[in-house]
Structure 1
């Protein structure tokens, strides 16, 4: 299957500036089709969802279309797709709701590999009800988090395991299915942060065994909002705080206030865009899988070029070492600050930011403190020429610094 990166790039207006974007892990560029969908929804005849007027029905159709689109992307049930302002906000909401079912002495497991949005909400919710937080640590030498690492901190009192599907800092992919199975053996739920994985690989929430799978459409060509795909049977007994007149149906029960219809329209457009990245047949789910498989091959090839180039740079230390990971590389430089490299590259029109990117526990566990390093993220629109620009820029930085 041929992946035509130039054809893909032609659909992103922002790429016409000539900037090389290695900042996708913080938010991707947006294709014209998504912007058009947002604009069209904003300027169309819409009202609050209902069944009486055409405007009401149009709003409802946008919501239902977005639920089906996200279900196709994630291999989840549409009736379990919850929308919110951001993944962080949704995780806080679910943490507070689930904590109402915990008792003092119950245990919650978080990991040192996770973005803080899948750590702090659980830590704070546990503290509020007297539950115990148990930490699963990864191997800093390899970047690997294994199911055995998580098993070490599980007990009969475990009520929830929060784990990332892929580290947003060093790219490590985790054995989510194994970890979820271990959690379920102890009667616990598994909340998966899939924000960084969803942009790069096909996701099958059912196969992973996740009770909740969180992601952010703006990481995969969509607008700024958050999504949690929960198993409907797990969502049904949960009772979040909500307004009295608001719907008590699942998943509306978890969506506070009026949904941003224009952003949901953009979300559907982003999923359709992914489904059309390569020529393939079948339903939307099948086309998504074909596209993301091709994207993964493209990105992994370029990531190999980045890693080989970094090996030739004096003093470069690569921290992304796991065997299975996303095309994401964290690098530091002996005697040179990553933040200085970030600024130098920006002057060349190459965007590769520096920091710990809210993965504060990961950065500290690696011995990088709160500073982190230079993060290089490959995207479906990245090219060989851009990788060469990046590596030439870093070589120039090290010569000039």
Structure 2
């Protein structure tokens, strides 16, 4: 009935090794259907698009199917809103280079201390080259949250772009985006939202977020290494003209995609979206409707686990959780252990069969805003296939290590 985590786990071959995979924010494992979809695409044969033969038409069909699947996943109005690339970082540099063509000295962009550096550095570097001013919204170091006023107060008549995360990859903090994106739209600025850590843990509707451009990575939601930037409306892409090869397509979104798309991994991404849509056995209807049901079930499961994890961490002597937000979060906890380096803690947990990451996680502004520094901390990040038993294993191991 409904969401059954043991039935979900049975679909993931990697989870059979007995380890607790608590590093979902660094990338999830993939179910058998994704592995088979990628294998089948290679097995049957693929050719580049544009040819008059079946293998070429097959590749074209995969690209179209993947655009439609990602559009359903994030609530985009049209598959033509979806642009693909190898990673969120590479796509963000692509869009930064394109948008910066319209920036001039005196223009402003807004970034935040909460973001992964992939949604900071590209904009900063291109703004500096254009002579534009960079304004950085600060977090509340006590909670790790990003107060809305700290961002909205920086948005003015000269603002061209607001780059903000939908969920912190390090702390799990989910900012209140709508007032930020609404203010950006009021002044004629574009909003670029990093949804890499948000998309795996939410039922995403771009219109509800107010994002003009929303970035996501399939390997964070049970898919292959493939990223997408999704526009809220096709017109957002139609008005942007990236540098491209002379014979490359003039059409959008194709003109944003450099070279040949990875057709077999794209087939895996379609399978991943279908898998997510079926995580709740009671889900029915269209893919969008099944996604809504299944994503709601996943959020409920993950919130329950996250509450158990955070309560357990609070009861451990010598373990300090950094950034204790009052608002919503993804199922992620960032902490340090007194007297132990983060990498040492991660290694000790690994010896006990627990995959838990350590470091700064490219949240460069955030580790400094929290006063931690580049050594960072330890991050436990749960997924839809995580269990209460795995959380208990982590808490018990941390109790041994901190003692």
- Shorter-chain TM-score tier: over 0.9
1:260 paired to 2:262: yes
User: Superposed, which structure 2 residues align to 1:71-150 within 5 Å?
Assistant: 71-76=71-76, 77-150=78-151
Q: Distance in 1 between matches of 2:152 and 2:206?
A: 21
Q: Distance in 2 between matches of 1:75 and 1:269?
A: 17
- 1:295 paired residue number: 298
Question: 2:161 touches 2:189 (CA, 8 Å); kept in 1?
Answer: yes
Aligned to 1:227, the other structure's residue is in SS state strand
Question: 1:49 touches 1:56 (CA, 8 Å); kept in 2?
Answer: yes
User: Superposed, which structure 2 residues align to 1:234-313 within 5 Å?
Assistant: 234-279=236-281, 280-313=283-316
Q: What TM-score comes out, normalization by structure 2 length?
A: 0.97
TM-superposition CA deviations, 1:66-85 (whole Å, max 9, x none): 00000000001210100001
Question: 2:28 touches 2:221 (CA, 8 Å); kept in 1?
Answer: yes
Post-superposition, which runs of at least 4 consecutive aligned residues in structure 1 deviate over 3 A?
A: none
Q: Using the TM superposition, give the Cα deviation of residue 16 of structure 1 relative to its aligned residue in structure 2, in angstroms.
A: 0.6
Alignment length (residue pairs): 399
Question: 2:319 touches 2:402 (CA, 8 Å); kept in 1?
Answer: no
Aligned to 2:192, the other structure's residue is in SS state strand
Uncovered stretches (5+) of structure 1, i.e. residues with no partner: none
Aligned to 2:44, the other structure's residue is in SS state coil
Aligned to 1:324, the other structure's residue is in SS state coil
Q: Distance in 2 between matches of 1:309 and 1:213?
A: 34
- 2:374 paired residue number: 370
Q: Distance in 1 between matches of 2:193 and 2:287?
A: 24
Q: Distance in 2 between matches of 1:3 and 1:386?
A: 18
Q: Which moved more, 1:112-121 or 1:389-398?
A: 389-398
TM-superposition CA deviations, 1:26-74 (whole Å, max 9, x none): 0001111101111111122321113621112111100000000000000
Q: Using the TM superposition, give the Cα deviation of residue 334 of structure 1 relative to its aligned residue in structure 2, in angstroms.
A: 2.1
- 1:24 paired residue number: 24
1:354 paired to 2:358: yes
Q: Distance in 2 between matches of 1:339 and 1:246?
A: 46
Q: Distance in 2 between matches of 1:274 and 1:346?
A: 28
Among 339, 343, 367, the alignment partner of 2:343 is 339
- 2:52 paired residue number: 52
Q: Using the TM superposition, give the Cα deviation of residue 143 of structure 1 relative to its aligned residue in structure 2, in angstroms.
A: 1.6
Question: 2:108 touches 2:158 (CA, 8 Å); kept in 1?
Answer: yes
Q: Using the TM superposition, give the Cα deviation of residue 294 of structure 1 relative to its aligned residue in structure 2, in angstroms.
A: 0.7
CA RMSD of aligned residues (A): 1.0
